Structure 1
Amino acid sequence: MASEPVDAGWRVALVIKDAIHRYGIDGMLRATALTASSRHLGFGGQDIRGCDGKGLDIVLAAAADLESEHIRDAVRELCGRGPGLLLLLDGPDSLDAPWIATCGAKGFLDWSALEPRTLADAVSDVMAGKFYVSAGLAQRLVTRAGQVSPSGPPQRIPAGAALTARELQVLRLIADGLSNKQVSRRLLISEHGVKRLVGSILAKLNCPNRTLAVVRAKDNGLLAA
């Protein structure tokens, strides 16, 4: 069960280009009766950068609208000033976008299953410091990865697939939102070497992408401090 909100008034900024979707989300937020305010940010880098982030708890953005690196950087800068980022996805295939693992998102929601209660749970968890993945999206992800049958529980990572110390270093940096290039600079190794390590991590964890690898590693306690 999701945690209760930190206080009785969430402050949410929306970065959603489609006006119908944007106002629909705004209505859902108000339906939770737990949102103090929602702010529609203009869809442009300068508009987003013009928001100082003060008083904001959450930035809720549509992943499909962040394909532009210019917009992504503006959202990343905004979230770097405090608010957590929740991404709305069109399905698990959206997680294959190369920028998803480095965008710093604190949770993922599936457009197809979005409703006020789900939205409230997601914001509550993010505000409590938890990583949120909507149930339907998580099940579709692990099913696609071949980890479970559609009705079965996720399997634990087998002992024989233990990550090396270097692979754990890389995985922790990926979880912190670093790109391959940033990881290579941090660890003083080549970017090709980082790609090889990431490939090994995905193979050992039986994950199709970096994002699911981070989620599965957290579930299995591999990223515990």
Structure 2
Amino acid sequence: MLDEQLTTEALGVLLDAATDPDRGESGRSWRLEVNGHLLDVYVDGSHPLPTADPAARGLRIAAGVAVFDLRCAAASLSFDSWFSLCPYRHDPDLLARIVIEPTGLPDQELRQLYRAIRSRHLTRPPAGPDNAVQLALARAAELENTKLGWLSVSFAPLAVLSTDRDERSDQVAAGIALERILLTSIRHDVAATHLPQPIRRPELRRCAQELTGTSGFAQTLIRFGRAPAGDQL
């Protein structure tokens, strides 16, 4: 059954969820190959690497975001799914393989987060997360084998998303976790913004990780709530 092709309607739902219309086709860092119920997510090598991201770490994080959105969309179609990251050493552009199981039981939490995808462009209240929401966000990170470290800053709450290692698969996992965190934030009606630029340089990544007081590799920053005017990072 897994070698049967997904319907055009199902593929439309999957691609619509994984494609952010604000970025357009030119901003997509990944491409999708479909074979039956196998979804292979590749880094898109048709575009030159950004000057600010010569190691393509940001591209792999962005592809991980798409992987999570595809899982949520599959759950919305009542499909189960599982995945592996960077499964073949001889094919470094293959970042994730997702298996869609049409006879399985969908993950109900992913189904709920799919609804958040549909409302991700709505404006959220300016307040940051309370303690209960912070726990929910930390759990979202842990479910994808990452962690959130909160920083003490004068403006809106800021967190570092980090991984234990810094292999290609860890960077894709960081993107998966990032999207689970952002969608969890939406479910709790808290604004969240991905801020990769401040820690693109290796020394700034190390500094951000040190500020969390934990070991690991900082992958990106996330701001929750909205910073007052003049206090933007």
* TM-score (normalised: structure 2): 0.31
Which is helix-richer, 1 or 2? 1
Higher relative contact order (CA 8 A, sep 6+): 2
Which is strand-richer, 1 or 2? 2
* TM-score (normalised: structure 1): 0.32
